[in-house]
Amino acid sequence: MAGLWPASETGIVFVAIAPFVAAILAPFLFRIAGRFTGWLLALVPAAIFLFLLGFAETVIGGGTIAMSMNWIPAYDINLSFFIDGLSLVFALTISGIGALIILYSGAYLAGHKHQGRFLGFMLAFMGAMLGLVLADSLLALFLFWELTSVTSFLLIGFDHARQAARRGAIQALVITNIGGMCLLAGAILVQQLSGSWEMSALRGMGDLLRDHALYGLVLFCFLGAAFTKSAQFPLHFWLPNAMEAPTPVSAFLHSATMVQAGVYLLARMSPVLGGTEAWTSILVIFGGLTLIWGALGALKQTDLKQILAQTTIASLGLLVLLIGLGSTYSIAAAIVYFVAHAFYKAGLFMVAGAVDHETGTREITGLGGLAEKMPATFIAAAMAALSMVGLPLTIGYFAKEEMYLGLMNGDWTSLVVIVVLIAGNAMLAGVALIVAIRPFLGTLVPTPRTPHEAPLAMLAGPVLVGAAGLVAGVLPDWLGHDVLVPAASAILQRPVESHLTLALDVTGLLLWLSVLTWALGVLVYRQADTIRTLLRRFDAWLGWTADNVFDACMFGLIRFSGAVTRALHHGKLELYLVLVFLTLAVALFGPMLAWGGLDWMVPKADLGDWSQRLVLPALQPYEWGVIVMAIAGLLAVLAAPTRLIAILSMGVQGTALALIFLLFGAPDLAFTQLMVEVLSVVILTFLMTRLRLDDRDPRPFEDWARDGTLAIVCGVGVSLLLMLVLNGTLDTRLSDLFTATSVPIAHGHNIVNVILVDYRGFDTLGEISVVMGAGMAILALLRRQRKKATEKPAPRRRTRKAGA
């Protein structure tokens, strides 16, 4: 398995980026290339596969490849990639199967008008998945992890016109994102504890995390991530619903790759977190439960895709269990089983898609005798099923042998685990027989469409992966030396010997355990209908599923947010304003009362009769005139019979205020105040005529008293605060600086303007952006109101217009 050209380290970045570039180009390419798009785009993963193969020699020789570039240097975060046996096995599987799936998708969705978009999503997913398995930095891992969730969401919901597809997509997104958040928390926690973002560095730290007091929390975070992604019981329910996606998606994401991300994470972290009692027991118990639950679930179904989805859950449980056991044999078994599963499950899904595509149904009860009409598809299905059953000369055989081999020591736990494994494997074998035999052998059953052989692009995938499962099964030396050893060594962090052999030892217990598994498998196959009836009866008796619980939770969440929104967002403008000004009053008086800000108001004893000392300020008569004008304006506001008059009176008061600014040496402020006053009166007047509140004038006394009290409290508060501030010594360093430097360095005599456009220009930039944003919001509100008005003219307006 030597590469075509020597692989360079910087190329790893392109491996993660190329699929995304291809994804962006896919829809455009589809417009030009039409039905050949699938063939062309399959070249991208194929090239990546060959490129990655170039690293194989180094990795088989026990080496690793690391590559790192600056990402956020300020926080010492790097975009680092790392290739060892484990990541290479995953990356090669992803890109290899990816190429076949892209090819298959081209034919499966032939004639679909959004095929370009679909292929784009698929390639983007592949890029994310490759990034995930190649990433070394925990943050990069998290980033790619979330990208796989997002692309999976897009792909499950691809057929977005169907409600079931939307629901499946949202469910998958919610569940896997909970895991994503766990992963982020875990990554940050690990970095805080160990000081490193790089997983390769973590592996060199020995028992640092295992001995830490927060080990439990770290473990919880990572297990939460892995269990949600890899659909472990009781979070498994999103995976069957994800089958709403087009079949190529199910074959690629929800069997061979994305769901394996959780398994990958566990394998990756097992040198760092694994080996403890908690790790082993949690993984083995949940893995075992998932295995049995998924296998039973598969026997319940009659829809080909649902059957396969349930077996995927079972296989994921099996992998988690094996990683949890953590012995040399079980890790070796996990690696071989991962490869075997990727081959046969992708193959079977593609077969199911082909059957569905050519006959129009996926119900095994409505299929039969297709072998004659679709011989190539049948051969592909048979090859995959042989591997799934685990007969000798297939890769599945080695996987099964290895997992039994690790449990031969005879203690009680091993015995229980081996019974669970045999039961699970037997049920999966039975399911494999059902899937491969029911639709293809027996008498031909009429189907919605007349069956005929699938096109070449749809056959290439299943036949090739099926054949690969057989070829790998007759080359134990290659499989052991080039695949198992590098990957298992990477997980165990020590060199491993391969012991895969084709020789059958008739006297050994091992073979007889396998034989027992096959025999039970055949039994399951023969009694499939009875088992299904029994299981369905049990389900009906149970009455609820994890799926229902999820729905109930989501429904509760939506109702809760609805209630919160209605409580806070009631649409009564007056109450909003009351709330705002109430808060202002609290903010003004709270600190003043809390820190004794009002103490200065109490007259001091040595002042004597202080009322004698009160003097009126010495003001010019015209200055008094302006002040009288302001007060008159205020009184007019209070006395105003309608809102319109009140607004105009406010204008009088505001103009007087502008004059006061002018008289006391702030011409800039006066200028602005005047213009703001004019415009706000104009705009408010227009608004008031538009709102037509006149029939609610004059306002009820309670409202008047409430708002008046609030206004007085806020006004007094602001006045007191100002007096308090002016009483103290002002820190004039900043204004001194501005006064001193505005001409020499900013070339302006108007300090206010220099501050606005130069010293604090960045603030102003923000402010004008807000002004524009607010303007657009106001326009949108007005436009909406107008639209409503034109749609159904309110009768009230007509009469008013006639009256005016």
Partner 1 sequence: MNTVIFRTLAPMIVAIMLVFSVYVCLRGHNEPGGGFIGGLIAAAAIGVFGMASGVATVRKALRVDPMAIAGFGVVMAGASGLMSLFIDAPFMTSIWLYLDIGESVVPLSTPLFFDLGVYCVVFGTLSAIALSLESDREEDI
Does position 753 bind partner 1 by CB under 8 A? yes
Chain-centre distance for alpha carbon 278 = 28
Minimum separation from the CB atom of position 152 to partner 1 (A): 38
Minimum separation from the CB atom of position 771 to partner 1 (A): 5
Strands (E), 561-695: none
**83 has which bridge partners?**
65
Does position 683 bind partner 1 by CB under 8 A? yes
Q: Which of 204, 375, 667, 698 binds partner 1 (CB under 8 A)?
A: 667
Does position 663 bind partner 1 by CB under 8 A? no
Tokens of 139: 């943050």
- Choose between 556 and 775: whose C-beta lies nearer to partner 1: 775
Tokens of 696: 């609610």
Does position 200 bind partner 1 by CB under 8 A? no
Phi/psi at 631 (5° precision): -65, -40
Rg, C-alpha atoms of the chain: 37
Identify which of 221, 207, 333 has the alpha carbon closest to the alpha carbon of residue 276.
207
Does position 612 bind partner 1 by CB under 8 A? no
Phi/psi at 449 (5° precision): -115, 150
Q: For residues 273 and 276, what is the distance between their CA atoms, to the nearest angstrom?
A: 8
Does position 761 bind partner 1 by CB under 8 A? yes
| Helices marked H in 54-84 | 56-60
Q: Any residues with CB less than 8 A from the CB of 415 and at least 6 apart, and which?
A: 407
* Span interacting with partner 1, options 57-65, 543-551, 558-566, 667-675, rule CB under 8 A: 667-675
Tokens 């997983």, residue? 199
Does position 234 bind partner 1 by CB under 8 A? no
Q: Which of 668, 693, 699, 724 binds partner 1 (CB under 8 A)?
A: 668
**Element housing 75 (H / E):** none
Does position 678 bind partner 1 by CB under 8 A? yes
Does position 648 bind partner 1 by CB under 8 A? no
- Choose between 719 and 753: whose C-beta lies nearer to partner 1: 753
Q: Any residues with CB less than 8 A from the CB of 422 and at least 6 apart, and which?
A: 513, 516, 517, 520
Minimum separation from the CB atom of position 630 to partner 1 (A): 21
Site track for partner 1 across 778-797, x = CB under 8 A: xx--xx--x--xx------x
Q: For residues 494 and 332, what is the distance between their CA atoms, to the nearest angstrom?
A: 13
Q: Which of 57, 623, 707, 758 binds partner 1 (CB under 8 A)?
A: 758
Tokens of 329: 């044999």
Q: Which of 442, 715, 775, 799 binds partner 1 (CB under 8 A)?
A: 775
Minimum separation from the CB atom of position 572 to partner 1 (A): 22
- CB burial string 765-797: b at 16+ within 10 A, e below: eeeeeeeeeeeeeeeeeeeeeeeeeeeeeeeee
Does position 441 bind partner 1 by CB under 8 A? no
Does position 453 bind partner 1 by CB under 8 A? no
* Span interacting with partner 1, options 286-294, 470-478, 553-561, 744-752, rule CB under 8 A: 744-752
Q: What is the identity of the amino acid at 377? A: T
Tokens 């406010």, residue? 650
CA atoms within 13 A on the CB side of 423: 15
Minimum separation from the CB atom of position 692 to partner 1 (A): 11
- Choose between 541 and 762: whose C-beta lies nearer to partner 1: 762
- Choose between 558 and 779: whose C-beta lies nearer to partner 1: 779
Residues 673/667, Cβ–Cβ less than 8 Å: no
Q: Which of 281, 739, 750, 799 binds partner 1 (CB under 8 A)?
A: 750
Does position 740 bind partner 1 by CB under 8 A? no
Identify which of 495, 459, 467 has the alpha carbon closest to the alpha carbon of residue 395.
467
Q: Which of 774, 796, 799, 800 binds partner 1 (CB under 8 A)?
A: 774
Residues 238/152, Cβ–Cβ less than 8 Å: no
Q: For residues 90 and 78, what is the distance between their CA atoms, to the nearest angstrom?
A: 22
Residues 26/37, Cβ–Cβ less than 8 Å: yes
- Provide the 3-class DSSP secondary structure of residue 712: helix
Minimum separation from the CB atom of position 746 to partner 1 (A): 7
- Choose between 205 and 648: whose C-beta lies nearer to partner 1: 648
Does position 178 bind partner 1 by CB under 8 A? no
Q: Are strands 77-83 and 65-72 parallel, antiparallel or unpaired?
A: antiparallel
Minimum separation from the CB atom of position 580 to partner 1 (A): 21
Q: For residues 458 and 106, what is the distance between their CA atoms, to the nearest angstrom?
A: 8
Burial of 194 (0-12, 13-18, 19+ CB in 10 A): middle
How many helices (H) does the chain have, and how many strands (E)? 34, 2
Tokens of 270: 């097992």
Does position 675 bind partner 1 by CB under 8 A? yes
Q: Which of 690, 692, 798, 800 binds partner 1 (CB under 8 A)?
A: 690
* Span interacting with partner 1, options 76-84, 597-605, 636-644, 684-692, rule CB under 8 A: 684-692
Does position 682 bind partner 1 by CB under 8 A? yes
**363 has which bridge partners?**
303
Minimum separation from the CB atom of position 651 to partner 1 (A): 13
Q: Which of 213, 762, 792, 795 binds partner 1 (CB under 8 A)?
A: 762
Does position 164 bind partner 1 by CB under 8 A? no
Identify which of 253, 255, 356 has the alpha carbon closest to the alpha carbon of residue 298.
255
- Choose between 737 and 772: whose C-beta lies nearer to partner 1: 772
Minimum separation from the CB atom of position 576 to partner 1 (A): 20
**Helices 277-300 and 412-437, packing angle to 10 deg:** 30
Q: For residues 58 and 84, what is the distance between their CA atoms, to the nearest angstrom?
A: 9
Does position 303 bind partner 1 by CB under 8 A? no
Residue 485 neighbours by CB distance under 10 Å: 21
Minimum separation from the CB atom of position 598 to partner 1 (A): 36
* Span interacting with partner 1, options 313-321, 346-354, 540-548, 766-774, rule CB under 8 A: 766-774
Minimum separation from the CB atom of position 802 to partner 1 (A): 14
Q: Which of 24, 776, 799, 800 binds partner 1 (CB under 8 A)?
A: 776
Does position 748 bind partner 1 by CB under 8 A? yes
**Element housing 82 (H / E):** strand 77-83
Q: Output the 3-class SS for 157-216.
A: CCCCCCHHHHHHHHHHHHHHHHHHHHHHHHHHHHHHHHCCCEHHHHHCCCCCCCCCCCHH
Does position 722 bind partner 1 by CB under 8 A? no
Does position 140 bind partner 1 by CB under 8 A? no
Minimum separation from the CB atom of position 672 to partner 1 (A): 5
Residue 701 neighbours by CB distance under 10 Å: 8
Does position 519 bind partner 1 by CB under 8 A? no
**67 has which bridge partners?**
81
Minimum separation from the CB atom of position 718 to partner 1 (A): 23
- Choose between 537 and 784: whose C-beta lies nearer to partner 1: 784
Does position 645 bind partner 1 by CB under 8 A? no
Does position 754 bind partner 1 by CB under 8 A? yes
**How big is the chain, counted in residues?**
804
Counting residues that bind partner 1 (by CB under 8 A) gives 43
Q: Which of 545, 686, 716, 737 binds partner 1 (CB under 8 A)?
A: 686
Minimum separation from the CB atom of position 792 to partner 1 (A): 13
Minimum separation from the CB atom of position 647 to partner 1 (A): 14
Minimum separation from the CB atom of position 669 to partner 1 (A): 9
* List of residues contacting partner 1 (CB under 8 A): 667-668, 671-672, 675-676, 678-679, 682-683, 686-687, 690, 746-750, 752-754, 756-758, 761-762, 764-765, 768-769, 771-772, 774-776, 778-779, 782-783, 786, 789-790, 797
